[in-house]
Every structure is written in C-alpha cells, then in structure tokens.
Structure 1
C-alpha cells in the first residue's frame, strides 16, 4: 500500500506502473494539458505544472520511494521542482540516447554564431564605433545593418575557425567516450553468448529500446544507429573474407554515400528556405483559426526537417568514427574484432526492428512540434 496516490492519479497510472509506463503517461498528459493548447483556460498553467511535478517525483526512484511511504511533503527534490515548461522541453530532448550518440554539438555552434548573421544567412559586419554608441543606428537615425557591406570580418573568420576547431575537439572526445561505452555493451553481449543467457541481455535491450522510442526523434535515431552499425560491421566482416580487398569497394561506396548525404542535406535546406520565403509572404493574422493552425504546423514541420537533416548528417559521421575505432583497434585480435562486428549486427537488428504504433507515431509528431515551439520560446 502507498500512503498517497495523488501523483499517480494525475498521470493516470497505478502505483504498480513501471518507469516506462510512467514516462509514456507523462508524455500523453503533458501534451493534453500544455498551456499552448488551452489559451483560454486560466488554470492551464497550474494543471501543466501539476503534471510536471508528478512526473519529477515518480520518475526518480528515491523520491518515488519516499512518496509511496510518506506522501508529498517528504518527496520534494533537493533543488525544488523545475519549471514545467523547462522540464517539458528537456525530458524528451534525446538525453536517453547520450550513451549511444553523445550530443549534437552542431546545434550549440549554430546558436553561438547565429547572432553574426542576418535573417537571410548573410554575415553582418561589425558595428562602427558611431553605430555602437547610437545603439545600432547611423548618424541620420536609420538602422544601419542593411546598408553595411555583407562581408565577413577578420574577427568573424577567426571566430568561425575557433568554433570549427572546438567542434572537432569535442567530436573527437565524444568518439572516444562513445567507443568505450559501446565496447562495454558489445562485451556484455559476447559474455551473454558465452554463458548462454542471451535472453537476459535481449530483454534488457528491448526495455531500453522501449524507452528510447519515447525520446524526440527516437525512432529516427534508432534507425540511424542501426544503419551505421550494420554497414560498418558488414564491411569489416567482408574485408576479413576478402583479405582486405573489399575495403577498396566499401571505401568508395562510403564516400559516394557521404556525397549523396551532403547533396540531400543541401537540397533539404534549399527547399526549406524556398518554402519559408513563400510562407513569409503570408499574413498569419488574416487567416482563420483552422488555416492559421495549418500554417503554423507547416512552418514547424519545415523547421524540424532542416534541424533533423543537419543533425543526422553530423551524427552518422560521428558514429562511423566510433565503429572504426572499435573495429580497427590493432591491439585487439582480429578474431575478437570479428565477434564484435557480429555483436554490432545483433544490436543493429534490434534497433532496426523497433516500431511505433499509429497512436505513438501521432503522439511523437505532435510532441516534436511542441518541443520545437519550446525551443523557439527560449531563443526569444
């Protein structure tokens, strides 16, 4: 028996609910009660906050245990409850994948450099002393940014160079960390095979996949992992069978895929830019409620498409380096690396077979659009 069921009732689950059940329930309730969906309800924010507090307690094993035994007063986080809006935008932001993919450093760099460019992507020249003193206006009182020549300054070039250097160092660090973590997972699988308890390993992995499916772009990330793991592992196995000659072919094929991915990335960006330019001509204030919602969803979808294409491109390159680090480690015997390649294929197949129900797919679409909305609010 638990002392209090209020938090369970808020999420619509029983005290016997698993962590995954609680996470799914929070996702659904958070979308149902989000203030943006109830602009005319003065109590919308408090309802949304209640859902966030319930999840913050029930998702923490220690707090949940205290809550079950003693009730709400004894189950408060040390730093207090997080703001519901902040919590909403981070809880499904991909943190569950950190041990598999690390971080998307590209987004951080885009945010850092965004202020140096105008809305069309052109570099903004540094303000003159006169403009800086006048708060960005020229001597005649007009805004001077659009009159200045769109030429990158020495300071901007140096900043971009430093950012690229920092990015490469960060990626190299992540590759080292991710290869170590993936090696542990591979070794766990190989030990399970050796000791004949693969079912136990599979059950644990299946449970993790169920939770990863709930993350933003969860299915897409699982399939990217599957694609890279399977490709790199199969290439390595083939190279062993052909005494390394297949590397000439697979290397060329990988380069061709990279060129194709680069082209697809640029095409996505150009198509999105074209769509954005067309939509910028629309006065949203003149649209009725239905058309406005349709317009906003289209904008969100285009933005998500570009963000995902850029992140996916960076991620695939990073994961390939992780696999190369594991499969090309000369300090590990070739036979052992062959087993590691087969373990990668096993994990890839599990990731590849992950599916969402139609209901989960629709929830994911809406949730990702709402996450994008929260990110836009933060940038303002």
Structure 2
C-alpha cells in the first residue's frame, strides 16, 4: 500500500485538475509545456497523475480490492488524459486508439467480473462447502453462524476504509436484492402451481424494485453532475472577473485616478454614425468596476466546488460498482455447473451478508 503522504499527494493532484478551471484553462491554452497542475509545494502533472491509484485509494482501499477490483472509470479517466496530452495526433491515429481502447475495456470488464465472481464464491464457500443436499437443519444453522461471525469480523476494517460505510451499504443492497431475485426465480420454476405463481409475483416485484433503485441512483448522479458543473462555472466566472479587474487601465493610487492603458485614437460618434448617447452608454458600461470576491468568498466557492466534484465522482463510482456487482451476483447465482440446492445455499449466504453490510455503521 502506498504511504499516507503518497495518497494525499494523489488526491490533491486530482482535485486540482478536477475543480480548478484556471489551471485547466492554462493547459488548454499553452499545451504540454506548461501543464503543471500544482497544489501546495508538491506539483502533480497530468502525465504523472495515476487515476487508477487515486480511485483505488479514494474508494475502498485495500480492504475492497477483492470485492470491487479495478475501476473502469479510472481507466476511462486515464485514457481521456492521454488523449488530452496527445491532442496534436492525426485523426486516423485517434480513431485507432479509441477502437483499441474500447476492445481493451470490454476484455477488462469480462476479466473483472470473472475474478470478482471467484472471490465472492470463495467468501460464500465458508457456508456452502460445509453443507450437502442431505444436511440437517442443525448443521445448516451452525454453518451459517460460522459464516456470520466471519462477516462481522471483517466489518471494522472495512468501515475504516475510504468510503467504507457507503460501499458496504451499496454493495450490501445489491447482494440482498440479487439473492431475493434468484430465490424467487427458482421458486417460480419449482413446486405446485400456487407456489410458482407466488414465486413469479415476488420475482416481478423484486425486479421492479431494483429497476426503480437504478433510476433513482442515476437521477441523483446526473443532479450532482449538474450542480458540480454550475459550481465550476461560478468559480470560472469569478476567476475571469478577477483577472479582468486586475487588467483595467484605470487604477486608484492615493485617492487619484490614473490611466495606464493603451491610448489609441477612439472612434467618435460621427465617425461611427452612432448617436452620442449610444457611444456614451457603451463607454459607461465598459468601465463599470468589477467587484472581486473576497478571499473568504473565494475560499468558500473553491471548497463548494471541490465538495460537489467529489460527490459527483462518488455517485458515478457507485453506479459502476453496483452495475459490476449485479453482473457478479448473476454469474455466481446462475452457475449451471452446480445444483439448485447449492445455488439456494449461495442465495441464503449472500442475502445474509448483504443484510449485515447494509446495517453496518461506524458507530457500531
């Protein structure tokens, strides 16, 4: 694991790039030679910034690596930075790179789901591997108690991880909802007609509940992104206004108004065929003083922009995590290589783990 100072260095660099429009404007204007995005004494460049490391340590750290894996958002962010740094390349080269990147992402996505599915099966095996089709109720209870103790033993360290409580709640919800979905689906395919109809109804209800959850989370993510964009726009306007105010030709010195700007000949009203009142009004509006933000106001605006950027980033990351976990659960719970009874045991263990994770809090 990287040191704490390394972690803080990565975070500060990311926030500088993400939320400081002035630094981003400087890079866009001057290109690669002057792209240093610094915060404090330590400078972080776009080339040196490790998006994957940032996402890994910002959301979950080492405690969640075997549950979450590598973030696809981090890979996309890393690719976007590489495109930004190579903006002078030809269009054909860019198209080839994008096609290659899309293929790599698809392969990485499949490998991620496969690896995380194996990791989840390993966790569930504490319960499922001790049972057989003819296990007694007592044996099932003892195995479940052992499994529950293992879950509770891991929670304190997981809660201490960055965004640990939020991650447990988000992943726990997916575990519980997917376990219910597959249990009710199996119920709708087994037994007498009444049992099947009841199972079908519960399965339909579970499906729609999960879809509504996805819609709500997507709306929240979009709302956070819009709020962050608005905050960035306000910060950009404040920086621009401050810059324009510092370049005004009229300045006050000891109570006297001095002019230090250029002195080209100005067009008169007659030369421009415009009314005198129109020219005066334009000159008046162009010389209205711009009131800059105080240091305190600017600091609050910067803090608000940073907070909104992190909230929007977390929301987007949460959507990705929940999507991946749904795919992982589907692969584990629909495994055709195992019997229905084993799949039911997996559902039971996964549901219990999901319920416990959703109830975990730092105050416990």
Q: Secondary structure at the match of 1:116?
A: helix
Q: Secondary structure at the match of 1:225?
A: helix
- Quote the Cα distance in structure 2 between the aligned partners of 1:229 and 1:347: 7
Larger CA deviation: 249-258 vs 313-322: 249-258
- Quote the Cα distance in structure 1 between the aligned partners of 2:83 and 2:88: 9
1:107 equivalenced with 2:63 (yes/no): no
Which residue number corresponds to residue 214 of structure 1?
A: 160
Q: TM-score, normalised by structure 1?
A: 0.56
1:196 equivalenced with 2:142 (yes/no): yes
Q: Secondary structure at the match of 2:336?
A: coil
Q: Secondary structure at the match of 2:238?
A: coil
1:126 equivalenced with 2:88 (yes/no): yes
Q: Secondary structure at the match of 2:160?
A: coil
1:167 equivalenced with 2:134 (yes/no): no
Query: Is the 2:179–2:347 contact (alpha carbons within 8 Å) kept by the matching residues of 1?
Result: yes
Q: Secondary structure at the match of 1:332?
A: coil
Compared with structure 1, are the counterparts of its residues 306 and 254 closer, same or farther at alpha carbon in structure 2 (3 Å cutoff)?
Answer: same
- Quote the Cα distance in structure 2 between the aligned partners of 1:91 and 1:275: 26
Query: Is the 2:127–2:146 contact (alpha carbons within 8 Å) kept by the matching residues of 1?
Result: no
Q: Aligned match of 1:236 in 182, 186, 189?
A: 182
- Quote the Cα distance in structure 1 between the aligned partners of 2:362 and 2:151: 16
Q: Aligned match of 2:361 in 348, 355, 360?
A: 355
Q: Secondary structure at the match of 2:88?
A: coil
1:272 equivalenced with 2:228 (yes/no): yes
Could you tell me which runs of 5 or more consecutive residues in structure 1 were left unpaired when the two chains were aligned. Answer: 1-25, 36-44, 46-86, 119-123, 129-152, 361-380
Q: Secondary structure at the match of 1:281?
A: helix
1:306 equivalenced with 2:298 (yes/no): no
**Offset at 1:308?**
0.9
- Quote the Cα distance in structure 1 between the aligned partners of 2:331 and 2:99: 26
Compared with structure 1, are the counterparts of its residues 195 and 354 closer, same or farther at alpha carbon in structure 2 (3 Å cutoff)?
Answer: closer
Q: Secondary structure at the match of 2:161?
A: coil
Query: Is the 1:239–1:245 contact (alpha carbons within 8 Å) kept by the matching residues of 2?
Result: yes
Which residue number corresponds to residue 54 of structure 1?
A: none
Aligned positions of 1:61-72 closer than 5 A? none
Which residue number corresponds to residue 316 of structure 1?
A: 322
Query: Is the 1:92–1:214 contact (alpha carbons within 8 Å) kept by the matching residues of 2?
Result: no
- Quote the Cα distance in structure 1 between the aligned partners of 2:319 and 2:79: 20
- Quote the Cα distance in structure 1 between the aligned partners of 2:54 and 2:216: 36
Compared with structure 1, are the counterparts of its residues 195 and 212 closer, same or farther at alpha carbon in structure 2 (3 Å cutoff)?
Answer: same
1:183 equivalenced with 2:121 (yes/no): yes
Q: Aligned match of 2:96 in 158, 175, 180?
A: 158
**Offset at 1:213?**
1.0
- Quote the Cα distance in structure 1 between the aligned partners of 2:217 and 2:334: 24
Q: TM-score, normalised by structure 2?
A: 0.59
**Offset at 1:179?**
0.9
Aligned positions of 1:73-84 closer than 5 A? none
Query: Is the 2:183–2:344 contact (alpha carbons within 8 Å) kept by the matching residues of 1?
Result: yes
- Quote the Cα distance in structure 1 between the aligned partners of 2:155 and 2:351: 16
Greater RCO (CA < 8 Å, at least 6 residues apart): 2
**Offset at 1:330?**
1.2
**Offset at 1:184?**
1.4
- Quote the Cα distance in structure 1 between the aligned partners of 2:343 and 2:143: 21
**Offset at 1:253?**
5.5
Report the count of equivalent residues.
Answer: 252
**Offset at 1:221?**
0.7
Which residue number corresponds to residue 363 of structure 1?
A: none
Which residue number corresponds to residue 95 of structure 1?
A: 62
Report the structure, 1 or 2, having the larger strand content: 2
- Quote the Cα distance in structure 2 between the aligned partners of 1:294 and 1:228: 37
